[in-house]
Structure 1
């Protein structure tokens, strides 16, 4: 049996044909076949399906659109080209977040109180007419679009080159403000830095280090890799994280307990919380500057990647001269706490 006759590729073709022809009944039937056969699809079939489904995602009706986006993300996780799939996913997600923000504003203006759940709890049948079918569906679709976008943002090529990231970031920020939901995974994925220069200065010794970060999802991960590079590398005193903990913050699956080695402080004197992300670190003279103070109390966490599908790294490029370190440290405020 050839691949073209297998159930999943046949369902993809039927669904595309029906969507482009605006044949609602045929599209519904093909969508059921699509979701029913994806679990049996071969890797090569998923590689082909991801870009093909993304190419007409904007034409898919609002009801199944987010589910198709999730299917595209699943195809990417199985090896489909993320760069080919990302622009359509970002455009679809941006549209959903923009419409959902409008829905949130209208809901509050109507005095309805707390927003309904994304699963529909708190919605009335009449709300689809009151607020519009597409805005309501957009609100319900946000978790699915978040999942799909994170799948492609695991790719460094997407993070570096795919268009639409800034516009999506703005749309997510507005929806977060109006809804009170953080959409943390998508916000953090859109904030991931690649080939980003950092400088870390140990306040006690004055030693400074130039580093370069890529693919680090949160500051727990950054903290662990900093301690591995600087303490584990023999440049600073202290207890380094285990080799396993450092590897799990790069590309080894899983998590393992570790203990904090520093208190991370920005040049403005404010603490850099482990719960934040590396983009929170303020820039001084073109680089993100971290000051390393002793931890005020013992803090432990599960070391690992914030995004399990994203490879992270922090590379020590060189040790700064004493003069360089002093000049940067002179621009640093005392800790704010």
Structure 2
């Protein structure tokens, strides 16, 4: 039986609320999707995504989402599959946070939150959470399974600007709150949710006193941002310095991801600073750059020491972009520099 027929059987089993039939169809689907054609995966992805809301929260929903993500990775429309996946992610993030709240309230002196391992789920744990037993089981499973939602979430987030615009900002606070409890590795999900798209960035180059407006999008971390700013500003002759290699730029921007890890090295050209003079770490995100009077404001200075890094981008399937929108006038540049801790560049343009 091919994938489409298997999906139809799963849909019918779910509609009939036949648990045994659903289990058999689900197992068959998970097997067949691995060997299906691209055309079958394109058709199956949205249909499987639509089943997520019909699966019980204590069932194998993350595994079903994994199958949807696999279809997206092989051609299915990310926008057509995203909403059921990300709605489920949002619910499990909130449920995991509620698990943490109840656990802590039930016995504040009991120490740290438990590791997210389904082996912890027993009668004593469910009793500790209180309330309805089925609800307690749902919260505990969310606590244990949330990391499993990262691959399917990344599949849709990294392949669609539309998906990120529609869903990311609503999910990011809960993701960061759960990650702050230090029991889950949600770095990739948090980074994907924090990606900026079509974001205007005011960039001040302190050594020359020049100012620019740069549009950025799809950038996974500040290593990638650093490379692209150097490409735009140095490569096009706006500020002095050594432009990044063509290969490091290609790795940052090419819609086709590199096949495996490369050995290409990028070299730091700037010191990235906030308006207050605090470092903007390469390991961080463009989203870390503070907003000053409605615009993210980044100051570039001479590097304090030589930095280099592997030029591969954080998200292989997410191509970054940075383009010069305009060079700021002398008056605009002076006005923006006045908002920084030093109050001006080294060589303010007349």
Displacement, 1:116? 4.1
Residue in 1 that maps onto 2:346: none
Tell me which moved more, 97-106 or 164-173.
164-173
User: Which of 195, 217, 225 is equivalent to 2:220?
Assistant: 217
Q: Deviations over 1:218-261 (max 9, x none)?
A: 11110111111111222222222111001101125254211111
Correspondence 1:85 to 2:81: yes
Residue in 1 that maps onto 2:347: none
Displacement, 1:95? 0.9
Native 8 Å contact 1:101 1:179 kept in 2: no
Going from structure 1 to structure 2, the CA distance change for 1:32 and 1:113 (only over 3 Å counts) comes to farther
Residue in 2 that maps onto 1:126: 123
Correspondence 1:67 to 2:63: yes
User: Which of 302, 308, 313 is equivalent to 1:300?
Assistant: 308
Going from structure 1 to structure 2, the CA distance change for 1:148 and 1:207 (only over 3 Å counts) comes to same
Correspondence 1:318 to 2:326: yes
Residue in 2 that maps onto 1:56: 51
TM-score with structure 1 length normalisation? 0.90
Residue in 2 that maps onto 1:309: 317
Compute the RMSD of aligned alpha carbons: 2.0
Native 8 Å contact 1:194 1:214 kept in 2: yes
Q: Deviations over 1:34-81 (max 9, x none)?
A: 111111111111111111111120111333101111111111111111
Structure 2 stretches lacking a partner, 5+ long: 130-135, 344-350
Correspondence 1:151 to 2:155: yes
Going from structure 1 to structure 2, the CA distance change for 1:124 and 1:317 (only over 3 Å counts) comes to closer
User: Which of 136, 139, 142 is equivalent to 1:135?
Assistant: 139
Native 8 Å contact 2:121 2:140 kept in 1: no
Q: Deviations over 1:154-185 (max 9, x none)?
A: 1112123x3x4333223323322345545111
Secondary structure of 2:118's counterpart equals coil
Secondary structure of 1:213's counterpart equals strand
Going from structure 1 to structure 2, the CA distance change for 1:29 and 1:128 (only over 3 Å counts) comes to farther
Structure 1 stretches lacking a partner, 5+ long: 1-5
Secondary structure of 1:309's counterpart equals coil
Native 8 Å contact 1:115 1:179 kept in 2: no
TM-score with structure 2 length normalisation? 0.87
Matches within 5 A, 1:1-337: 6-61=1-56, 62-108=58-104, 109-110=106-107, 113-120=111-118, 123=120, 125-126=122-123, 129-130=126-127, 131=129, 132-154=136-158, 155-160=160-165, 162=166, 164-181=167-184, 183-251=186-254, 252-253=257-258, 254-255=261-262, 256-334=264-342
Displacement, 1:271? 1.1
Secondary structure of 2:332's counterpart equals helix
Residue in 2 that maps onto 1:3: none
Tell me which moved more, 275-284 or 130-139.
130-139
Q: Deviations over 1:19-46 (max 9, x none)?
A: 2222111111111101111111111111
